[in-house]
């Protein structure tokens, strides 16, 4: 027979778009609208409802950036609609392709109860399933006019990203504010047609495809295009048969879970996320009510806490849906944090605060970690997940890799200590699935474990800015449940998927080490103040806990649980995967810096209070050391009178030479050239020079840095091709200060607009040449690095991560290694060969790169710390102004020394006046064992929680000494729950301890 597939496809496509979809709400009457515009911050719903409203004409522009407009919509159901389903249809001025990135609304009844949200793909509100004649309608819409910041060319600098700089221009124009009849048959016909049209596009040539096309043609023939509503049922009848044919026995199985990835801040501030979450969850509760099998999953305890605090009526609906098993908490974390940069204690607290909230408020403990969108995953995570009780891990972000395709979708992920976690990446390559024919076919086609496993996960719904799942998506899912030619789709909890997968894959493939994202590498550096705030506050809170716990045991002072919980939760929120990485709008980063200042002030007050209680009243100057290593004679966790400290073993000499300076403290001798560069740094015990002969360290290098896309996120490899070495010195001075520390000050002009001042200091007896840097940074699209060409032939470098370090090779043999041209570190990176190593330590940066050169017979390993960037999107003023850094070169380091110097840089010595010193509560001995945390248990029982880890990558044996009356000690999970291991032996407060490589061990101490 003659056949013309494109003719059928063209016909159906046009009829669907131009006739069927518009007929869903064709019969309508306009509502009466009134409005009240509020610039600035939103008000509580009760206040919004009580505002003065004035008449509003549809089509009038409304809403300046970040403002809120309250609309009051009233009307009456026409008599002849009695018995029919009537809905409000509200188009606030939507761009259908910008769900979550533009204006949005939350609809309230007159009594203030929230109903559901309005967004571009969800413009309806139910009035009544069977309306009564003359039924009165009165609804209120809290409409947020959030500006579109990524339209068109997505990376144009804009001042709309902060309420402080945004314009007052009205951004949106309402399209339609109507009362309408919902034509159920037309709606269902649209879904039938759409699903079949998308299915046939994915089918191979053959009978199934041809029969689907014929059925679609038949349906079009039966549809009267002038009377769509009255002929829709007849058209649907032509499709019943092709929709009823079951899927193949071996069809791929898709475990769908409703979802709205809601970024806790990004192109909107935190306060808007609070409303986004309320909007999306109210819609999802509605969709749950209207369906039988739909399951919605949401992560982030913080977002649940916001609903509870700000929208109690929505919270009640969420709780009911959670109890019914339809609304499922996911992930067990406080927020979907970055996992590369937070400290080990921070990641533990993400789990602790997340799981405690879910358990306390909802009676749920999450079984898996859900991080679809974070920018790479630390190799410390598998152990932390396991020790926090998680069974599985989910992400999809690695599908964004620029170069290499990840080889698995379902696999065991192994971390630095050997822990493994069952992990899954959806082969659909998205966390915002629509369940389109193309998406489900892609999942089936790409799934890497098809030989041995049957299914994959699909998070279904509008995400990033929220929106969630729509009734169109649940309609698609029901048609795809068992349809010939398609994967099978069913709604289910991801736990059920992982349980099945574990059975199917007893020998899952294994991936060892970090899940490096080959993209967004600049997120290790952008927004330096945010990163500095994170590093400093996470150390400060651990310190506050240590002194508060010590004061509680030694003096009976109450441990400030409420205060510390609130401070931690603020720091945990800022670790969200668009805040700490520096990829949010100016508003978000401005607030992050303000929050860090508040946290710092409050945590400092806890420290001061606790130390005052500990040392008593007196005039003795005492020094407190919260670092996990002895500092200048003060033991870790102890407080010692200053005069009790012995004199320094070495004095530092400072000699001028060739216009530069030589600093020598008997341990290392450092030569600073007349250009302020390090020409040598000799370990006097071995005679080894850290700096490669003829090279110069502390060389600041300025690169042009305009990535192809994603300005704050990305640095592209070609950035290295344009570089300026900063050699010109505007001032070079040196002196030895009162404490015997030799200091060289170097000042340079970076450009006409920017300057930098460095103070290089060498203390008596130190291996560390410390550099304090102050940069007045007024550049755009530049990348500032500081280079140290090391005379070390290092096959690998060791970069600190949470509770240990990971090794990365320094060569670029394969595309996987070449793609890692910018990598992460915490407080140290160590380049080491047998017998000699050099470390770079820092107090607030995360990015670095390592390159190799061969000069003559020598291999030079150049390590560069990434200091500052200046992208212009989404914050056009990123990193402008005065910035500070502390970092340093440790000459003659191994992993032990690097760990210690990094940790010491993370905390400062404190001097206070009091009556006496204080002995440490907990002392650890044993090479490689590091004390990470001493705190009171989160359950407020008064028990102590002590955490240690093995830092060197080997077996460690030592003793934990508890200087307090102890009733018993047990090993505990990271959630601080005792393990059923019969307890731990304690003799006179001594707990013998054996740790395997990079093991994290938590002990729970019951006080006597
Ligand atoms: Zn995200």
The share of the chain scoring above pLDDT 70, in percent, equals 99
- Ligand 1 centroid, distance to 839 Cα (angstroms): 34
Q: What is the pLDDT of residues 444-472, one digit of tens each?
A: 999 999 999 999 999 999 999 999 999 99
Rounded CA-CA distance 81/100 in Å is 33
Rounded CA-CA distance 195/274 in Å is 35
**In what side-by-side order are the strands of the sheet with 104-109?**
54-56, 32-38, 68-76, 136-144, 104-109, 114-118
Helices 184-202, 5-15: axis angle to 10 degrees equals 150
- Ligand 1 centroid, distance to 893 Cα (angstroms): 39
First CA to last CA distance, the chain: 91
Residue 133 pLDDT more than 90? yes
Rounded CA-CA distance 974/956 in Å is 20
What are the tokens at 404?
Answer: 């290499």
Task: Return the pLDDT at 393.
Answer: 98
Residue 102 DSSP class: S
Query: Could you write out the three-class secondary structure of 818-884?
Result: HCCCCEECCCEEEEEECCEEEEEEECCCCEEEEEEEEECCEEEEEEEEEEEECCCCCCCCCCCEEEE
**In what side-by-side order are the strands of the sheet with 956-962?**
922-925, 956-962, 990-995
pLDDT band at 440 (very low <50, low <70, confident <90, very high): very high
Residues with catalytic annotation? Answer: 373
- Ligand 1 centroid, distance to 582 Cα (angstroms): 13
Which sign does the torsion angle of CA 204, 207, 209, 213 carry?
positive
Q: What is the pLDDT of residues 853-896, one digit of tens each?
A: 998 888 999 999 999 999 999 999 999 999 999 999 999 999 99
CB 577, CB 337: distance < 8 Å? yes
- Ligand 1 centroid, distance to 103 Cα (angstroms): 19
Residue 40 pLDDT more than 60? yes
Task: Return the pLDDT at 3.
Answer: 87
* DSSP SS3 for 237: helix
Task: Return the pLDDT at 983.
Answer: 86
Q: Count of CB atoms within 10 A of residue 473's CB?
A: 22
CA distances from 190 to 227, 432, 843 (A): 15, 22, 58
The share of the chain scoring above pLDDT 90, in percent, equals 96
Q: What are phi and psi of 215, to 5 degrees?
A: -60, -40
CA distances from 531 to 574, 579, 704, 802, 842 (A): 10, 9, 22, 16, 12
Secondary structure element (H or E) that encloses residue 850, with its range: strand 847-855
Ion ligand 1: residue ranges with CB closer than 5 A: 263, 373
- Ligand 1 centroid, distance to 373 Cα (angstroms): 5
Task: Return the pLDDT at 646.
Answer: 53
- The three-point CA angle 607-613-614 to 5° equals 85
Task: Return the pLDDT at 482.
Answer: 98
CB 979, CB 970: distance < 8 Å? yes
Region 489-510 average pLDDT: 97
* DSSP SS3 for 273: helix
- Ligand 1 centroid, distance to 392 Cα (angstroms): 20
CB 428, CB 434: distance < 8 Å? no
Nearest to 117 by CA among 269, 277, 265, 273: 277
Task: Return the pLDDT at 1.
Answer: 86
What are the tokens at 681?
Answer: 């740094």
Rounded CA-CA distance 545/553 in Å is 12
Q: What is the pLDDT of residues 607-654, one digit of tens each?
A: 999 999 999 999 999 999 999 999 989 999 999 998 755 555 568 999
CB 926, CB 957: distance < 8 Å? yes
Mean pLDDT of the chain: 97
Task: Return the pLDDT at 269.
Answer: 98
Nearest to 602 by CA among 567, 574, 572: 567
Q: What is the pLDDT of residues 156-196, one digit of tens each?
A: 899 999 999 999 999 999 999 999 999 999 999 999 999 99
Task: Return the pLDDT at 154.
Answer: 75
Rounded CA-CA distance 18/224 in Å is 13
- The three-point CA angle 639-643-648 to 5° equals 100
Q: What is the pLDDT of residues 96-127, one digit of tens each?
A: 888 999 999 999 999 999 999 999 999 999 99
- Ligand 1 centroid, distance to 155 Cα (angstroms): 17
- Ligand 1 centroid, distance to 396 Cα (angstroms): 11
- Ligand 1 centroid, distance to 529 Cα (angstroms): 21
* Residues 6 or more apart in contact with residue 295 via CB below 8 angstroms: 256, 257, 258, 325, 326, 327, 328, 491, 492, 493
DSSP secondary structure string for all residues of 647-689: PPS-PPEEEEETTEEEEE-SSEEEEE-TTS-EEEEEETTTTEE
Secondary structure element (H or E) that encloses residue 732, with its range: strand 731-736
């Amino acid at each position: 027979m003659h056949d013309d597939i494109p003719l059928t496809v063209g016909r159906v496509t046009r009829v669907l778009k131009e006739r069927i979809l518009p007929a869903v709400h064709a019969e309508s009457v306009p509502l009466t609208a009134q409005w009240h515009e509020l610039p600035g911050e939103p008000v509580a719903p009760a206040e919004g409802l009580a505002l003065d409203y004035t008449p509003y004409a549809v089509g009038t522009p409304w809403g300046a950036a970040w403002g809120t407009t309250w609309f009051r919509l009233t009307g009456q159901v026409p008599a002849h609609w009695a018995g029919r389903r009537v809905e409000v249809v509200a188009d606030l001025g939507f761009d259908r392709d910008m769900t979550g990135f533009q204006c949005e609304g939350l609809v309230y009844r007159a009594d203030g109860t929230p109903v559901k949200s309005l967004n571009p793909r969800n413009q309806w509100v139910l009035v009544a399933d069977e309306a009564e004649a003359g039924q009165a309608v009165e609804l209120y819409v809290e409409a947020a006019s959030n500006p579109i910041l990524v339209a068109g060319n997505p990376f144009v600098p804009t001042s709309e990203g902060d309420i402080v700089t945004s314009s007052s221009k009205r951004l949106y124009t309402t399209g339609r504010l109507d009362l309408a009849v919902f034509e159920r048959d037309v709606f269902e016909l649209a879904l039938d047609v759409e699903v079949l049209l998308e299915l046939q596009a994915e089918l191979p040539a053959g009978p199934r495809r041809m029969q689907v096309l014929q059925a679609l043609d038949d349906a079009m023939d039966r549809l009267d295009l002038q009377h769509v509503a009255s002929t829709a049922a007849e058209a649907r009848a032509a499709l019943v048969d092709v929709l009823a044919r079951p899927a193949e026995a071996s069809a791929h199985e898709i475990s769908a879970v409703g979802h709205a990835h809601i970024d806790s801040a990004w192109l909107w501030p935190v306060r808007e996320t609070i409303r986004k979450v309320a909007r999306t969850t109210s819609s999802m509760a509605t969709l749950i009510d209207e369906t039988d099998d739909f399951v919605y999953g949401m992560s982030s305890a913080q977002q649940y806490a916001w609903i509870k605090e700000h929208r109690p009526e929505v919270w009640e609906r969420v709780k009911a849906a959670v109890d019914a098993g339809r609304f499922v908490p996911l992930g067990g974390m406080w927020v979907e944090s970055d996992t590369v940069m937070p400290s080990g204690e921070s990641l533990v607290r993400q789990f602790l605060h997340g799981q405690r909230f879910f358990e306390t408020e909802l009676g749920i403990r999450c079984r898996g970690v859900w991080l679809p969108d974070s920018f790479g995953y630390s190799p410390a995570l598998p152990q932390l997940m396991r020790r926090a009780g998680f069974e599985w891990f989910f992400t999809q972000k690695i599908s964004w890799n620029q170069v290499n395709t990840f080889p698995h979708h379902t696999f065991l992920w192994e971390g630095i200590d050997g822990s493994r976690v069952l992990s899954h990446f959806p082969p659909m390559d998205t966390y915002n699935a629509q369940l389109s024919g193309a998406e489900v076919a892609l999942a089936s086609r790409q799934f890497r474990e098809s030989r041995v496993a049957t299914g994959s996960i699909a998070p279904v719904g509008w995400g990033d800015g929220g929106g969630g799942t729509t009734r169109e998506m649940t309609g698609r899912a029901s048609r795809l449940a068992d349809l010939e030619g398609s994967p099978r789709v069913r709604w289910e909890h991801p736990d059920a998927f992982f349980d099945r997968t574990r059975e199917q894959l007893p020998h899952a493939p294994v991936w060892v080490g970090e899940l490096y994202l080959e993209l967004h590498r600049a997120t290790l550096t952008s927004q330096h103040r945010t990163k500095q705030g994170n590093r400093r506050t996470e150390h400060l809170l651990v310190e506050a806990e240590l002194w508060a716990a010590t004061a509680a045991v030694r003096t009976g002072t109450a441990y400030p649980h409420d205060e510390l919980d609130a401070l931690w939760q603020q720091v945990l929120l800022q670790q969200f995967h668009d805040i700490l990485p520096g990829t949010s709008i100016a508003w978000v980063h401005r607030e992050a810096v303000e929050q860090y200042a508040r946290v710092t002030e409050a945590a400092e007050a806890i420290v001061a209070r606790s130390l005052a209680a500990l040392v008593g009243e007196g005039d003795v100057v005492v020094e407190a050391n919260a670092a996990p290593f002895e500092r200048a004679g003060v033991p870790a966790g102890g407080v010692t009178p200053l005069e009790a400290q012995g004199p320094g073993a070495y004095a530092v000499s400072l000699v001028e030479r060739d216009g530069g300076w030589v600093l020598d403290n008997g341990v290392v001798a450092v030569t600073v050239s007349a250009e302020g560069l390090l020409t040598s740094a000799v370990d006097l015990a071995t005679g080894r020079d850290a700096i490669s002969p003829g090279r110069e360290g502390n060389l600041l290098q300025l690169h042009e840095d305009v990535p192809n896309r994603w300005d704050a996120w990305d640095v592209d490899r070609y950035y290295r091709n344009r570089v300026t070495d900063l050699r010109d010195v505007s001032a070079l001075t040196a002196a030895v200060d009162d404490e015997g520390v030799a200091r060289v000050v170097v000042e340079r002009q970076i450009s006409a607009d920017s300057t930098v001042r460095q103070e290089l200091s060498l203390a008596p007896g130190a291996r560390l040449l410390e550099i304090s840097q102050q940069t007045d940074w007024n550049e755009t699209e530049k990348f500032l690095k500081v280079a140290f060409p090391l005379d070390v032939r290092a096959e690998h470098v060791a970069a600190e991560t949470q509770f240990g370090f990971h090794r990365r090779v320094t060569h670029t043999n394969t595309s996987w290694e070449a793609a890692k041209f910018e990598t992460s570190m915490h407080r140290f990176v160590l380049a080491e060969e047998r017998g000699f190593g050099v470390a770079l330590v820092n107090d607030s940066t995360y990015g670095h790169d390592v390159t190799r050169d061969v000069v003559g017979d020598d291999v030079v390993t150049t390590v560069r710390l990434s200091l500052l960037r200046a992208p212009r999107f989404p914050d056009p003023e990123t990193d402008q102004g005065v910035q500070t850094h502390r970092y340093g070169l440790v000459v003659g380091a191994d992993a032990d020394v690097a760990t210690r110097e990094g940790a010491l840089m993370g905390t400062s010595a404190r001097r206070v006046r009091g009556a006496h010193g204080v002995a440490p509560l907990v002392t650890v001995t044993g090479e490689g064992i590091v004390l990470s945390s001493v705190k009171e248990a989160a359950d407020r029982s008064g028990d102590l929680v002590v955490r240690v880890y093995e830092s060197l990558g080997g077996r460690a044996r030592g003793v934990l000494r508890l200087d307090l009356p102890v009733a018993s000690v047990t090993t505990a999970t990271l959630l601080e729950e005792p393990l059923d291991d019969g307890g731990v032996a304690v003799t006179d407060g001594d707990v013998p301890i054996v740790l395997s490589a990079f093991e994290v061990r938590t002990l729970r101490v019951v006080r006597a």
